[in-house]
């Protein structure tokens, strides 16, 4: 078979054209960010939009970087994100397992109460939580940004739904084999629901990374702030310096890309795992 059939050629041309278009549109916001980071303030607001800046303004990067201690912000954000995510995954697994498999008196009532807290908007609790944190003298500490978020009703609920789908017969069979609840959870439940747990982890990382109001409330010192609070420094009452925001975003996205390149295998595995399971 030295040459393919014309129909196969057309099919693969179409396929690759489609994939290239898809890749282009996916990358467009990213390219736009880089291009905007190199523009002058005048080019940023130009209509029709300028795709490639006339003279790349590399000093935007140094201006943006020096506007706030981004290095420190970055470390803070990593610490808070990692610790919060680890904790939230552990607490969600434990409570979801309890709600889905263990036989506890009044379990359903407790679960209903748990769910009821989802009805209370977070904004209503912010001041109360803030007063608690103040009374504990936790202002300007990592604790203040981690502890209030180490468990999540929503993730517990989500995970409990996945755990409930695991047949009780598996649990009972393990019991017959003298497997403890904890062992059953770590050896069977968790591996079987890897994709759901990964999803929770990723959702929480995104949420932590973007959280703004709470970290700002519980920190007064610059050195305890997080990345999102750094980006608002380019906004004023009279306008926004988009080129600096974009430059800062470019700098901040680099470590994430590096992390992704290293962990690509695991991330893709997590995604494909869910596909296989479906």
Find the shortest distance in angstroms from Cβ 143 to another protein: 6
DSSP bridge pairs for 266? none
Backbone dihedral region for residue 239 (phi beyond 0: left; psi -120 to 50: alpha; all else: beta):
left
Q: Which is nearer to another protein, 87 or 267 (CB)?
A: 87
Q: Which is nearer to another protein, 41 or 56 (CB)?
A: 41
Give backbone dihedrals phi and psi of 179, rounded to 5 degrees, phi first.
Answer: -85, 130
% helix / strand / coil in the chain, to the nearest 5? 75, 0, 20
Find the shortest distance in angstroms from Cβ 222 to another protein: 7
Find the shortest distance in angstroms from Cβ 131 to another protein: 5
Find the shortest distance in angstroms from Cβ 274 to another protein: 26
Q: Which is nearer to another protein, 27 or 104 (CB)?
A: 104
Please give the C-alpha separations between residue 228 and each of 70, 103, 121, 206, in angstroms, as whole numbers.
10, 43, 22, 12
Interface contacts to another protein, rule CB under 8 A:
40-42, 45-47, 67, 79, 83, 86-87, 90-91, 94-95, 98-99, 104, 110, 113-114, 117, 120, 122, 125-127, 130-131, 134-135, 137-143, 146-153, 213, 216-217, 220-222, 229, 232-240
Q: Which is nearer to another protein, 70 or 149 (CB)?
A: 149
Q: Which is nearer to another protein, 90 or 253 (CB)?
A: 90
Please give the C-alpha separations between residue 216 and each of 191, 195, 226, 242, 249, in angstroms, as whole numbers.
37, 33, 8, 22, 19
Give backbone dihedrals phi and psi of 59, rounded to 5 degrees, phi first.
Answer: -70, -15
Find the shortest distance in angstroms from Cβ 121 to another protein: 11
Residue 248 · residue 64 · CB < 8 Å: yes
Q: Which is nearer to another protein, 29 or 275 (CB)?
A: 29
Find the shortest distance in angstroms from Cβ 258 to another protein: 24
At 278, list the tokens. 């479906």
């Amino acid at each position: 078979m030295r040459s393919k059939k014309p129909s196969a050629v057309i099919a693969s041309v179409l396929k690759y054209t489609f994939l290239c278009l898809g890749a282009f549109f996916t990358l467009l916001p990213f390219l736009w960010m880089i291009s905007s980071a190199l523009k002058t303030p005048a080019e940023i607001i130009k209509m029709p939009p300028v795709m490639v800046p006339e003279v790349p303004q590399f000093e935007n990067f140094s201006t943006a970087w020096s506007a706030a201690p981004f290095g420190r912000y970055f470390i803070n954000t990593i610490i808070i994100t990692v610790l919060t995510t680890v904790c939230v995954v552990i607490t969600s697994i434990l409570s979801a397992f309890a709600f889905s498999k263990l036989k506890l008196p009044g379990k359903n009532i407790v679960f209903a109460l748990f769910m009821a807290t989802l009805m209370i908007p977070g904004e209503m609790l912010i001041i109360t939580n803030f007063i608690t944190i103040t009374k504990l003298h936790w202002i300007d500490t990592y604790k203040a940004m981690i502890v209030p978020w180490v468990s999540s009703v929503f993730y517990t609920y989500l995970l409990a739904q996945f755990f409930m789908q695991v047949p009780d017969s598996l649990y009972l069979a393990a019991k017959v084999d003298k497997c403890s609840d904890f062992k059953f959870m770590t050896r069977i439940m968790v591996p079987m629901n890897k994709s759901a747990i990964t999803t929770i982890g990723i959702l929480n990382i995104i949420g932590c990374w973007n959280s703004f109001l709470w970290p700002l409330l519980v920190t007064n010192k610059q050195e305890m702030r997080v990345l999102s609070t750094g980006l608002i420094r380019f906004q004023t009452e009279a306008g926004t310096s988009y080129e600096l925001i974009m430059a800062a975003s470019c700098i901040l996205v680099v470590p994430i890309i590096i992390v992704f390149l290293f962990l690509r295998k695991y991330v893709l595995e997590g995604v494909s795992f869910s596909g296989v399971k479906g």
